[in-house]
Amino acid sequence: MDFMESNGPTKGYSMTNFHRMLSDLTGILNGHLNGKRKIVLGGDFNASIQFDDIYGQKYTPNAHKIFFERIKDFELFNCFNPFYKDYVQTLRHQKSKVKWQNDYFFVSKSISKKLINCEVVDNNKVRKYSDHNPVVVTLDL
């Protein structure tokens, strides 16, 4: 059984909550709050750009891809892009051989110019206490 298999009516539909949240935040993400767009959006999204390629046909094809396209459509910059070629592992599942990334940081375009570094902390101490690796984003504000 892989980590996405579970029983119940929400099986395979975790992305609906994220799409709903983006819809609820649309006014803020589009800059309709005093015209300011200094946004930092990050954390454990329980979503991965990798997911659709691996599980999409089994669950909801392109649901994760569409979520990340919506973030990009808000002109939010992925802080990992300048520092990692593809994916960087931020999550380890005991039952999965995939090196999952589901922790992300996105910033508005004006803040992206201040990005100094984005790194994933991975060491024995982190692995002892969590299945997630901390992500550190350094901005020169």
In tens, the pLDDT along 53-105 reads 887 667 677 888 999 999 999 999 999 999 998 889 999 888 888 899 999 99
- Domain membership of residue 133 (yes or no) is yes
pTM of the model: 0.85
End-to-end CA distance of the chain: give it in Å, rounded. Answer: 45
Side-chain half-sphere of 38: how many Cα atoms within 13 Å? 6
Q: Of 86, 134, 137, which is closest to residue 116 (Cα–Cα)?
A: 137
At 39, which CATH number? 3.60.10.10
Structure tokens at 40: 């930092």
- Domain limits at 68? 15-139
What confidence score (pLDDT) does residue 55 get?
78
Count of domains observed in the chain: 1
- Domain membership of residue 5 (yes or no) is no
- Domain membership of residue 52 (yes or no) is yes
**DSSP-derived secondary structure letter, 77:** E
- Domain membership of residue 9 (yes or no) is no
Distance CA(7)–CA(45), nearest Å, equals 21
Q: Is the pLDDT of residue 4 over 80?
A: no
- Domain membership of residue 3 (yes or no) is no
Side-chain half-sphere of 61: how many Cα atoms within 13 Å? 1
- Domain membership of residue 1 (yes or no) is no
- Domain membership of residue 73 (yes or no) is yes
What confidence score (pLDDT) does residue 10 get?
55
- If you average pLDDT over residues 118-127, what whole number do you get? 94
- Domain membership of residue 86 (yes or no) is yes
H-assigned helices in 1-141: 15-24, 26-29, 51-55, 63-73, 109-112, 124-129
pLDDT tens-place string over residues 10-33: 555 667 888 889 999 999 998 877
What confidence score (pLDDT) does residue 9 get?
55
